[in-house]
Structure 1
């Protein structure tokens, strides 16, 4: 069985255009979608509400364990398509020397949420350190 997956960005700057592109992909035969990394379920909820309350295909969310406050700021301010909510930024900043553990805890929270509402998740290892991603399960 061959499945077609497509990209989806629920926090795109032009959300109406992103929705139009997403629905065109679905119409063209997409079987599932994978989001950019998300850091707050509310971004997903707002997207689903805007497309009518139900997603037409299964979706897997990108989960990225942040490892520093500085990294969160850089991603939020310099990487198009990634939005790190202010609440997450503040939580990382307040974590001090425990920021890495905080980032992994936040990622586990997103993973737990994805289990309840989405088809799945894919994990994005911090800086290509693939072995570290396993900590998300511990």
Structure 2
């Protein structure tokens, strides 16, 4: 069984994903509405797992809800909040619910979020989580005990930051994730496309795994300055900030900039991952401006194709 996203990876299509957050409460209506806007434009919708350590609905539950509406998810799973037992239990549960795409992440520190008294776990980190997923896919748990009720079939990806200051550290971490079983990579917000080009040619070229460049919708100069101040490793160039500041409609200028970045990314890597916090409705416009065609999607409610 091959889902639409995995099929697109295998067929070397230019991949398009978009990020949405689960609800902060028990009503998933807005999440479903946003995801339906994206259907037909993306290969899969990426569901965050406690991003920035902010409390929200379980990414597994949110992903299962989207599957019920015929929308294929990529379910993020972080190591911050669960020990090795909990992570494996959730991976089994995700598989049983029909979820196949996983993004293995270490997770943001608790102090970054809205529950700072909570205790971080970090029993594993992203590389070790990838190894656990690989073992579960082979029919074994993390202690090499066989799974009597069949192996899993999860398509696991990982994060990557081509703008990391340490080039050797970036290469070492990337290679470890490849060895651990990562099948695709989603990057952090990209602002330095020369650096992305260098990463693609010097590190990613021999891996034969798709890299999805992170494209972020900047809503204003103030928004860009906030990111520069508070998001580690990201530096929005001053010429982009000036464009936003001088524009009569900063939000539309942000859409234009994002579309330009999608076009740049298409020349360098195998996909884009779009982030438009609270304005996900603008993602189709960004893709249209960038010259992207709608994505052919399966209507199967399970998200699976034979």
Short-chain TM bin? 0.7 to 0.9
Aligned with 1:115: secondary structure? helix
Task: Compare 14-23 and 26-35 and name the one that shifted more.
Answer: 14-23
Provide the aligned C-alpha RMSD in A: 2.1
* Pair 1:32 & 2:184 matched: yes
Per the alignment, residue 131 of structure 1 pairs with 281
Please report how far the alpha carbon of residue 49 of structure 1 lies from its aligned counterpart in structure 2 after TM superposition.
4.8
Unaligned runs of 5+ in 2: 3-153, 290-306
Q: Which of the two has greater helix per residue? A: 1
Query: What is aligned with 2:109?
Result: none
Q: Decide which of 252, 261, 277 is 1:101's aligned counterpart.
A: 252
Q: Is the 8 A contact 1:48 1:55 kept in 2?
A: no
Q: State whether residues 163 and 192 of structure 2, in contact with CA within 8 Å, keep that contact through their aligned partners in structure 1.
A: no
Runs of 4+ in 1 over 4 A off after TM superposition: none
Q: State the distance in 2 between where 1:13 and 1:26 align.
A: 20
| Of 45, 67, 73, the match for 2:197 | 45
1:116 corresponds, among 267, 287, 290, to: 267
Q: Hey, what's the Cα distance between the residues in 2 that align with 1:69 and 1:19?
A: 33
Shift of 1:82: 2.2
| TM-score, length of structure 2 as denominator length | 0.40
Distance 1:15 1:86 in 2: 24
TM-score by length of 1: 0.83
How many angstroms does 1:83 deviate by? Answer: 2.4
| Residue among 66, 75, 82 paired with 2:227 | 75
Change in Cα spacing, 1:15 to 1:88, as seen in structure 2 (3 Å) is: farther
User: C-alpha separation between the residues in 2 aligned to 1:23 and 1:87?
Assistant: 34
> What are the within-5 Å matches in structure 2 for residues 14-25 of structure 1?
14-25=166-177
